[in-house]
Structure 1
Amino acid sequence: MSRRADGRSRATTLPPGSISSHDEHGASIGVMCEMTIEIDKISLHAPDGYNVVVETPKGSRSKFAFDPETGLFRAKKLLAMGFAFPFPFGFFPSTKAEDADPLDVLLVTDADLPTGSLVRCRLLGGIAMEETKEGKAVRNDRLLAVPLLLHQDRPPFELSDMPAAELKDIEDFLVAYQTVDGKQAKVVGRLDRTEAESVVRKAAQP
């Protein structure tokens, strides 16, 4: 209950899983939510496509990564000067790639999608990549998808629908932003939509 200016009481409705904080006079001063969102339990599949969780927004120099222990998105690193993510970067929930992390994906869109957004997407294809970890070459493909949003201006349906120069820019970025950090990464090919679908199916977790 909270107190109105005329001294009468009124009921206060709180979200499920929340508790109310009060000052020394008993007045409500806010709500603290105890609810935890478990992203790893979000379904991979969505109507006509897949779910994607956005970690890093388009244009950001800061790279964010979901931390399953806290349920928050951790600021993982700052890209070198002059680098920024060309598109929103995230992952497919309920997947595990060869590097043991969720499967990466770039969302080809002009939409502003903040960290933590859950977006329904359609696969376009992917960039086949290899990274060297502990002296061993590991595949770490970056898939490309397009959000299924209203009022999008003629989104591509296949990787081949994208301008060649734009695809080359994406490949150069994916290699360069890791190379400046001393990592070894290289593009080893491209994946069409059928091949990308196969990668997602292989990475899907029960």
Structure 2
Amino acid sequence: MNLWKDIKNQPPHAPKVVYAVIETPKGSWNKYVYETSKETFCLGQVSPLCYPADYGIIPQALGDNGNPLNMLVLTHQPTFSGCLIKTKPIGIIKMRDDEGKDEKIIGVPVNDPSSEDIQDIKDLPKSLLEEITHFFREYAKNQNINTEIVGWENRKEAVRIIERSMDCYNDMLSIKSLFLLD
């Protein structure tokens, strides 16, 4: 099973509730990447920073950078690579690097009672937003990537980005089928 291609995020719930496939658990110094073509997890790199949240991809959603759309899932305890989490998007951190836009959706697990009252990015403590911002700035520095943190956006914008990314994924499939590509 291809965790990016075969797991469906479909209406009526998507894009207001989506699945996230976790690549890198919260607290890990290792960055794991789901290789969609190999259908397996690979060690991307080792960082001097630990991830502030579970980090992964949204199945069947293609980001502007040509990669699966990324998502940070705010869990109390780390899960594991390959864990599928039903997630409510609450906001987005917008970034830009040498390859263009690099947006990360922020979400909370639907099945976590402590997340019930979190509906939007404004419901999070400022210190958590600062921790996430710091992580991405320092991570980029350590990887010699020129990254700019553009800012934070609300749930409405996150849902719009997910919707657009799902459309991009479907467009990619249509183009591939026209040329009989995998």
What TM-score results when the alignment is normalised by the length of structure 1? 0.75
Percent of aligned positions that are identical: 21
Structure with the bigger RCO (C-alpha within 8 Å, sep 6+) is 2
Check the 8 A contact 2:109/2:115 in 1, yes or no.
Answer: no
Cα deviation for residue 155 of structure 1 reads 5.1
Query: 2 CA distance for matches of 1:122 and 1:90?
Result: 14
Alignment-derived partner of residue 33 in structure 1: none
Do the aligned residues in 1 keep the contact of 2:53 with 2:78 (CA within 8 Å)? no
Paired AA for residue 42 in structure 1 = I
SS in 1 for 2:61: coil
Give the conservation status (yes or no) of the 8 Å contact 1:57–1:88.
yes
Alignment deviations for residues 61-96 of structure 1 (CA, whole Å, 9 cap, x no partner): 00001112321101110002xx10011000101011
Q: What RMSD in Å do the two structures reach over aligned CA positions?
A: 1.6
After TM superposition, which residue ranges in structure 1, 4 or more long, deviate above 6 angstroms? none
Question: For residues 157-172 of structure 1, what are the structure 2 equivalents within 5 Å?
Answer: 157-172=119-134
Check if 1:90 corresponds to 2:56. yes
- Which entry has the higher C-alpha Rg, 1 or 2? 1
Give the Cα–Cα distance (whole angstroms) in 1 for the partners of residues 50 and 112 of structure 2: 26
Partner of 1:74: 42
Question: Hey, what's the Cα distance between the residues in 1 that align with 2:69 and 2:127?
Answer: 25
- Give the distance between the partners of 1:197 and 1:163, measured in 2 at CA: 21
Query: How far did 1:149 drift?
Result: 1.4
Which is further off, 101-110 or 150-159?
A: 150-159
Contact 1:61 1:85 in 2 (8 A): yes
Within 5 Å, which residues of 2 pair with 1:124-135?
Answer: 124-133=90-99
Q: TM-score, with normalisation over the residues of structure 2?
A: 0.84
1:38 maps to 2
Name the structure 2 match of 1:53: 21
SS in 2 for 1:94: strand
Structure 1, unmatched stretches of 5+, are 1-36
Is the CA contact (8 Å cut-off) linking 2:25 and 2:55 kept in structure 1? yes
**Matched length:** 164
Q: State which of 68, 85, 90 in structure 2 corresponds to 1:119.
A: 85
Q: 1:195 aligned to 2:160?
A: no
**What's the CA shift for 1:41?**
1.7
Shift of 1:154: 4.9
Name the amino acid aligned to 2:164.
Answer: K
Aligned partners of 1:62, 1:194: CA distance in 2, in Å? 32
Q: Distance in 2 between matches of 1:112 and 1:41?
A: 24
Q: Pick the structure with more helix per residue.
A: 2
